[in-house]
Amino acid sequence: MSRTLWFLAGAGAGVYGMVRGRRAAEAFTAEGLHDRLGALFLGARMFRDEVAQGAADRESELRERFGVVPHGRPELTAPEPTQTKESSS
């Protein structure tokens, strides 16, 4: 039983090592490097788009909060009159 277990463990480690070695060798071929570089640029582009979208969302939120029109000029609105207890009597 013990020899069978060690044989299977060794065979599994050998297969695992071969697969990892083959993947590492493929990663350093011209095609593998091209794929990795493409993935890096895609990730950078997605990150840039997410940051730009977040900045636009935040800008819209701040413009709405402070009442600024999209062109950057504040809207001119008259303040609403407030009523106090003294003036309504």
Going from the C-alpha of 39 to that of each of 26, 34, 35, the distances in angstroms are: 15, 9, 6
**Residue 82 resides in a domain:** no
- pTM, full prediction: 0.54
Q: Which domain holds residue 26?
A: 2-67
> How confident is the model over 12-43, as pLDDT tens digits?
999 999 999 999 998 889 999 999 999 999 99
Q: By the 8 A CB rule, do 2 and 8 touch?
A: no
**Residue 85 resides in a domain:** no
**Residue 87 resides in a domain:** no
**Residue 52 resides in a domain:** yes
**Residue 33 resides in a domain:** yes
Mean pLDDT across the chain: 86
Residue by residue, DSSP assigns 24-70 as HHHHTSHHHHHHHHHHHHHHHHHHHHHHHHHHHHHHHHHHHHHTB-T
Mean pLDDT (whole number) for 60-80: 72
What's the total number of domains in the chain? 1
